Amino acid sequence: MSGLPPYASTGQRVWYYSFRVICGLIFFFLIAPIMVIIPLSFNAEDFFTFTPEMLSLQPEGFSTKHYEDFFTNSDWQLALRNSLKIAPVATLLSVTLGTLAAIGLSQSHVPFRRAIMATLISPMIVPLIISATGMYFFYSNPYIPTPFGKIELPFTLTGTYWGVVLAHAALGIPFVIITVTATLVGFDRSLTRAAANMGAGPVRTFFKIQMPLILPGVVSGGLFAFITSFDEVVVVLFVGSAGQKTLPWQMFTGLREQISPTILAVATLLIAISIVLLFVLEVLRRRSERLRGMSPG
């Protein structure tokens, strides 16, 4: 669909342009709500709407006071710190375990591959409210039930930092599995064989040959896992306690109860983070395609 042919009829011309207008409107629908947040976050008033001063672009209509509130308010700062403490650890857990498992899954003979895959992907599919409910009940047990009897634990996980980290790691795993297995599909096995042939042990082969090649997949899986944890609110609401209040949790209570425009400032900062993430992922995707000998998109 590159341009209209010169012989196009009037009807075709009309359709061609109206289709573009429709698509333009849908793109507007996709992007406008996010963009509206940004100017509103500089509102000098405590309103959620454009003031007349803002519309006439007078400088007194704008201020950074909501940002100042975010950076000085202890509630928001605690939430930010909690988010930054939870997400990286959860990501590290899911990336380590997920990459190993993805390598195992991409071997040629794996018994029950389909069932294992379905189990590992399920945290992405099961509604969060159900995962949250299950974890809320289960993590409050001071034991792990097994077919051979209960393994007693000296602690319970509900309301603790580690409980939230474990829950978030579980939620991030499907993303790591999906991205890393996708990278491994294009992986040339003769490379590892060549390395082994030249006398490298399995560990050395992994770190010197396989890891650099699948790294883009691992990193983008890690980014997915990170953003899953960083964004997650349902599970942390149930499994966590006030001490683990994260940024999305603070935003959620803010939206539900006392609606403060500081939320818009936080939202703008989060949008900036997503733009950075998007950029990094695009770079990674191109690098991965180049490494695998495909032409960059």
Q: Does 191 bind other proteins (CB under 8 A)?
A: no
Residue from the set 4, 14, 34, 194 that interacts with other proteins by CB under 8 A = 34
Burial-class residue 41 by CB neighbours within 10 Å (0-12, 13-18, 19+). Answer: buried
Q: Does 182 bind other proteins (CB under 8 A)?
A: yes
Residue from the set 78, 89, 117, 196 that interacts with other proteins by CB under 8 A = 117
Closer by beta carbon to other proteins, 29 or else 148: 29
Residue from the set 44, 92, 128, 196 that interacts with other proteins by CB under 8 A = 128
Q: How far is the CB of 157 from other proteins (least distance, A)?
A: 9
What value does the CA radius of gyration of the chain take, rounded to a whole number of Å? Answer: 25
Alpha-carbon distance 12 to 102, whole Å? 49
Residues from 209 through 228 that contact other proteins (CB under 8 A): 220, 224, 227
* Token couple for 95: 């990336």
Residue from the set 4, 12, 13, 207 that interacts with other proteins by CB under 8 A = 12
Residues from 244 through 283 that contact other proteins (CB under 8 A): 248, 251-252, 255-256, 259, 263-264, 267, 270-271, 274-275, 277-278, 281
Do residues 178 and 125 touch, judged by C-beta distance below 8 A?
Answer: no
Q: How far is the CB of 240 from other proteins (least distance, A)?
A: 13
Residue from the set 68, 71, 81, 138 that interacts with other proteins by CB under 8 A = 138
Burial-class residue 287 by CB neighbours within 10 Å (0-12, 13-18, 19+). Answer: middle
Q: How far is the CB of 254 from other proteins (least distance, A)?
A: 8
Q: Does 71 bind other proteins (CB under 8 A)?
A: no
Q: 3-state class of 144 per DSSP?
A: strand
| Residue 257 per-residue DSSP state | S
Distance (Å) of CA 249 to CA 33, 42, 106, 236, 263 = 21, 23, 37, 8, 11
Do residues 174 and 121 touch, judged by C-beta distance below 8 A?
Answer: yes
**Interacting span for other proteins (CB under 8 A) from 67-75, 193-201, 208-216, 231-239:** 231-239
Q: Does 97 bind other proteins (CB under 8 A)?
A: yes
Alpha-carbon distance 235 to 248, whole Å? 11
DSSP secondary structure string, 8-41? --HHHHHHHHHHHHHHHHHHHHHHHHHHHHHHHT
Q: Does 201 bind other proteins (CB under 8 A)?
A: no
Q: Does 84 bind other proteins (CB under 8 A)?
A: no
Q: Does 169 bind other proteins (CB under 8 A)?
A: yes
Alpha-carbon distance 278 to 282, whole Å? 6
Alpha-carbon distance 90 to 142, whole Å? 22
Q: Does 179 bind other proteins (CB under 8 A)?
A: yes
Residue from the set 4, 14, 84, 144 that interacts with other proteins by CB under 8 A = 144
Q: How far is the CB of 10 from other proteins (least distance, A)?
A: 13
Residue from the set 4, 36, 211, 283 that interacts with other proteins by CB under 8 A = 36
Q: What angle do CA 83, 88, 89 make, to 5 degrees?
A: 105
Residue from the set 86, 87, 170, 219 that interacts with other proteins by CB under 8 A = 170
